[in-house]
């Protein structure tokens, strides 16, 4: 990614927090959810409450969530517990996978674009546009695994070193001008 574009995203200049939504039925059954607006399972709701407890002592000043129910319903109890504002950012919704949505994850083929799917480039630009609208001192972003992959590629984080499990709070910290660290809370 172009360093100039990366530096136009204010949240990429200091530590911030990231949380993937809690568990959904599509997660539990290893299905591609993409842009499907699925809700949390009972376990996912419990995970959201546990994440709120884990984040209770962190200096978060605002929460930014994807508009999809699974992210919103994870973010809402955290915003209430932390007593911070919650803003919805449409651009950080999960990638649209077209015809693959609702199908087993194993149906995805590397290098093959499913019919009706959003391209990697379009998805990345959309997500980065959403990130550029985040303007708080210490943000928490509640979104999706695909959005986290955009973060990893943008910030030079090796994804294998930074797994993104459901509802596991992460702190992303600039380590040097080129490197970022991911800390699990």
pLDDT tens readout for residues 129-150: 999 999 999 999 999 999 999 9
At 86, list the tokens. 């919650």
Q: What is the pLDDT of residues 149-164, one digit of tens each?
A: 999 999 988 876 556 8
pLDDT at 2 over 60: no
Q: Is the pLDDT of residue 169 over 70?
A: yes
DSSP string, 25-80: HHHHTTB--TT----B-HHHHHHHHHHHHHHTTS---EEEE-SSHHHHHHHHHHHH
pLDDT at 163: 60
- Mean pLDDT of the chain, nearest integer: 92
The domain spans of the chain are 3-173
Return the CATH superfamily for domain 3-173: Phosphoglycerate mutase-like (3.40.50.1240)
Q: Which residue has the higher pLDDT, 181 or 60?
A: 60
Task: Tell me the per-residue pLDDT of 34-48, one tens digit each, with 9 for 90 and over.
Answer: 999 999 999 999 999
**pTM for this predicted structure:** 0.93
Q: What is the pLDDT of residue 160?
A: 64
50 vs 91: CA distance, rounded Å: 26
pLDDT value at position 4?
45
Strands 86-88 and 16-20: unpaired
DSSP single-letter state for residue 166: T
d(CA 106, CA 101): 12
Q: Percent of the chain beyond pLDDT 90?
A: 76
């Amino acid at each position: 990614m172009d360093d100039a574009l990366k530096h136009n995203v204010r949240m990429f200049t200091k530590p911030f927090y990231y949380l993937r939504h809690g568990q959904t039925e599509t997660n539990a059954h290893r299905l591609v959810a993409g842009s499907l607006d699925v809700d949390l399972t009972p376990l996912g709701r419990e995970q959201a409450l546990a994440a709120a407890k884990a984040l209770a002592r962190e200096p978060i000043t605002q929460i930014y969530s994807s508009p999809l129910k699974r992210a919103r319903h994870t973010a809402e109890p955290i915003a209430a517990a932390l007593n911070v504002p919650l803003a919805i950012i449409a651009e950080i919704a999960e990638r649209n996978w077209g015809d693959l949505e609702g199908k087993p994850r194993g149906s995805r083929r590397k290098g093959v674009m499913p019919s009706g799917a959003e391209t990697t480039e379009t998805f990345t630009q959309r997500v980065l546009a959403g990130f550029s609208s985040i303007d708080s001192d210490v943000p928490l972003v509640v979104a999706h695994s695909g959005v986290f992959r955009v973060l990893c590629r943008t910030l030079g984080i090796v994804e294998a070193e930074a797994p993104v499990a459901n509802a596991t709070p992460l702190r992303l910290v600039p380590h040097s001008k080129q490197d970022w660290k991911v800390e699990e809370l």
